[in-house]
Amino acid sequence: MKLLRPYALAALLCGTALLPAAASAQPPAPETAQALVGKWRHQTMLRTVDGQALPPQPAGGSGVAEFRADGTWSMQGPGMVSSGTYRWLDAKRIEQTLEQSTSKYELGVASIRYVKIQGDHLSLTRIQDRKEMDKLMPAAAPGTKRPDELIVTNVFTRLPAD
């Protein structure tokens, strides 16, 4: 399972694709859309691999994501920087497109993330199947098997406004 950590971190910082975009159902309430805007410090990564929950992986607050009202986002973490655009698909999901990144193999890729905001806490969840991992990530090392499904939830806390 240790091999999954680089994939999960790359997916967090680079916006790995997960689910096909669905037709927009209902946009979020204005207060929900506004609640996403701001800077968020990455605290923990929760992973479920093929239905088995792994121990929480503390991030130590080393990554900072920012969502802006103009539909752009950025993420900075140890040795990685990424940015792009986002749009609400419905009241619970955003689609992020990766436009700049230190991981060049995912440029232009769109990912769908489930958004949950409770006070100063943000959770972004993505679901990825093996076909998508094989398509977007570097080749798996010989003798290693990727999971059939990877669910990653990244938990953030809001940073004070500048």
Tens-digit pLDDT profile for residues 26-81 = 678 888 899 999 999 999 999 999 999 999 999 888 899 999 999 999 999 988 89
Report pLDDT for 120: 96
Determine the straight-line distance between the first and last CA of the chain, rounded to whole angstroms: 39
Query: How does DSSP assign the chain, residue by residue?
Result: -TTHHHHHHHHHHHT---SPPPPP--PPPHHHHHHH-EEEEEEEEEEEETTEEPPPEE-TT--EEEE-TTSEEEEEETTEEEEEEEEESSSSEEEEEEEEES-GGGTT-EEEEEEEEETTEEEEEEEEEHHHHHHHSPPPPTT----SEEEEEEEEEEPPP-
* Structural domains counted in the chain: 1
Task: Tell me the pLDDT band of 144, cut-offs 50, 70 and 90.
Answer: confident
For residue 66, what pLDDT is reported? 97
Domain of 79, in residue numbers: 4-158
- Reported as a single tens digit per residue, the pLDDT across 130-139 is 888 877 777 7
* Segment 74-109, tens digit of pLDDT: 999 988 899 999 999 999 999 999 999 987 777 888
- Taking the model in full, what pTM does it have? 0.78
Residues 138, 4: Cα–Cα separation, whole Å: 12
Dist CA 154 CA 44 (whole Å): 6
Q: How many Cβ atoms from other residues are within 10 Å of residue 29's Cβ?
A: 10
111-129 residue pLDDT tens: 899 999 999 999 999 998 8
> Stretch 155-159: mean pLDDT, rounded?
97
Q: What does the pLDDT read at residue 140? A: 74
Report the CATH number at residue 13: 2.40.128.490
